[in-house]
Amino acid sequence: MTARTLLQRLLANDALNFALTNRIPRAALTRFFGWFSKIEHPWVRDASIALWRAFGEVDLSEAKKTRFASLHDAFIRELRDGARPIDPRPDTLVSPCDAIAGALGRIDGDTLLQAKGMRYTLGELLGDEALAAQLRDGCYVTLRITASMYHRFHAPTDCRVEQVHYFPGDTWNVNPPALDRVERLYCRNERAVLTARMRDGTPLVMVPVAAILVASLRLHCIDLTLHARYAGPHRLRCDSTVSRGKEMGWFEHGSTIIVLLPAQAALAPQVRTGERIRMGQALFAPPPGDSV
């Protein structure tokens, strides 16, 4: 039995997976990984990337460059032009990232599903009751970015980012075993709430949520890298116009983005829990005869 097969079998056991990836010093390990992943020594770089590729389905063939300075450099890789075609329908909101779709659908008043039997509220997630009220009975999708995936995220539609609200927090894993066991996980983890408006004034909210080994979150709209040691203001006003499909930032490892829209929005029919989706594919579509 190969080491990869053994690890896969161990992680397939939910209880063991949870213990191995959560019952550890999460914050300390995350800080260590942030430092270690940036080491540019050729031996460290090559061994780290080889190990990462051995235990995950990592595809570096789409990357814009073929040589990387460090494991971190490979994690935050850019893709070649054209590697992620954008849905040609201009009224369709596209996925901001490569991901596996998690909980999704209609928001029940102010309550969202985390996993079976686990729920949380808009107010807890966003930390802003006025913003939560705008999204009541709206539509949402949870996008989980695994460690092997492309880690940059993009604008789902033409929009103007008005505010970033940063929440320091924990670094629980965001995989299914943790989501089934940790109540209100997304509201407890480190995260940023990006509040934007589309061309017609409709609110669009994206919540990148950090997880174990996610050393930081880079956001172009405020020209900052947010991380656990960030000591600046946590509510940051901005005025950043982003075109559909343009890059908004990146995670330094895998994690999750929750996308939220008000009640008139509707999920694209092919978006289902457990399905893989790529950046640029249809995510939300306006109802027939209406507009998001």
* In a domain? residue 80: no
Task: Give how many domains the chain has, as a whole number.
Answer: 2
pLDDT at 36: 79
Last residue of a domain, one of 75, 105, 129: 75
Catalytic residues: 98, 154, 255
Last residue of a domain, one of 23, 41, 75: 75
Whether residue 128 is found in the same domain as residue 48: no
Query: What token pair was written down for 6?
Result: 């053994």
Phi, psi of 51 (to 5 degrees): -65, -45
Whether residue 242 is found in the same domain as residue 152: yes
Whether residue 135 is found in the same domain as residue 69: no
pLDDT at 290: 45
Contact at 8 Å (CB) between 234 and 167? Answer: yes
Contact at 8 Å (CB) between 25 and 44? Answer: no
Whether residue 15 is found in the same domain as residue 54: yes
pLDDT at 128: 94
Whether residue 268 is found in the same domain as residue 208: yes
- Give 95-130 as a 3 state SS string: CCCCEEEEEEEECECCEEEEECCEEEEHHHHHCCHH
* In a domain? residue 84: no
Query: What token pair was written down for 73?
Result: 């450099």
Which one, of 145, 175, 146, 150, lies nearest residue 59 by Cα?
150
Whether residue 146 is found in the same domain as residue 176: yes
Whether residue 254 is found in the same domain as residue 151: yes
Query: What token pair was written down for 1?
Result: 């039995």
Using alpha carbons, list the distances in angstroms from residue 27 to 19, 73, 210, 264. Answer: 15, 22, 11, 39
- Structural domain range at position 40: 3-75
Contact at 8 Å (CB) between 269 and 84? Answer: no
Whether residue 108 is found in the same domain as residue 250: yes
Taking the CA atoms of residue 213, residue 219, residue 220 and residue 224 in that order, the dihedral angle to the nearest 10 degrees is -90
Last residue of a domain, one of 75, 104, 133: 75
- pLDDT by residue for the chain (292 residues), tens only, comes to 555 565 555 555 555 555 555 555 666 767 777 777 889 999 999 998 888 887 777 889 999 998 999 988 998 999 999 999 999 998 999 999 999 999 999 999 999 999 888 999 999 999 999 999 999 999 999 999 988 899 999 999 999 999 999 998 887 788 888 888 889 999 999 899 999 999 999 999 999 998 876 657 889 999 888 876 777 889 999 999 999 999 999 987 768 999 999 998 999 999 999 999 999 999 998 545 444 4
